[in-house]
Chains A and B, each alone.
Chain A
Amino acid sequence: SQTIHQWPATLVQPVGSPLSLECTVEGTSNPNLYWYRQAAGRGLQLLFYSVGIGQISSEVPQNLSASRPQDRQFILSSKKLLLSDSGFYLCAWTRQAFNEKLFFGSGTQLSVL
């Protein structure tokens, strides 16, 4: 069966510090991968998605970047965190086919202080 791992579960970082969140998927190959963010009391905002290694689409221009160095690994990064980067970050995947379900990780609660 397929599983998605996301870590860490919680993270407290000072303003201006770097960020690296990692997500890996097991049990499938060539998945579509996604990063979403949810600010407190808000809906889900799509940040990045990837259909293959090295292929990243950005939905919202901001202080963050994403990379996909391996087929089942998706990394969210920032060189210098802002207060507004605080939120609940979710990684998700789907199969490479039309109309497939999204499977989400358990999320990372990031607090930038």
Chain B
Amino acid sequence: DAKTTQPNSMESNEEEPVHLPCNHSTISGTDYIHWYRQLPSQGPEYVIHGLTSNVNNRMASLAIAEDRKSSTLILHRATLRDAAVYYCILRDNQAGTALIFGKGTTLSVSS
């Protein structure tokens, strides 16, 4: 299975940009990179996904390295509500339709 590596925790201040890194050096050519986040006591929610090109949506931006071995989730202006655990996941074709989550990065946002 293709694995991802993320820092255990990161800190940010409100209104500042946040760059959450993810390494996936064993990614295969057809694996998509997905990001989810989990607020306390809630189920995870989808944030963004991409294959090769950078992606933007109303929640965040996803920057994918040219060799696809790493990616970065960008929150342009962190708010207190962005404090959550952020998961970087590869769509694992060999496991069928299952999505395997790692431990993620716990983001703390200070006012």
Contact = CB atoms under 8 A, between A and B. Distances in A.
A42 B49 CA distance: 23
Interface stretch (B21-29, B40-48, B73-81): B40-48
B99 interface: yes
A42 B103 CA distance: 7
Contacts of A24: none
A46 interface: yes
Interface residues of B, number: 22
Given A43-B101, A44-B87, A106 B43 contact: yes
Contacts, number: 54
A34 B43 contact: no
A92 B98 CA distance: 11
Interface of chain A, helix or strand or loop or mixed?
strand
Contacts of A62: none
Interface residues of A, number: 26
Contact of B43 (A59, A94, A104): A104
A103 B46 contact: yes
A87 interface: no
B99 A102 contact: yes
A99 B91 contact: yes
Interface of A: 32, 34, 36, 42-46, 49, 51, 57, 59, 88, 90, 92, 94, 98-99, 101-107, 109
Interface of B: 32, 34, 36, 38, 41-46, 49, 87, 91, 96-104
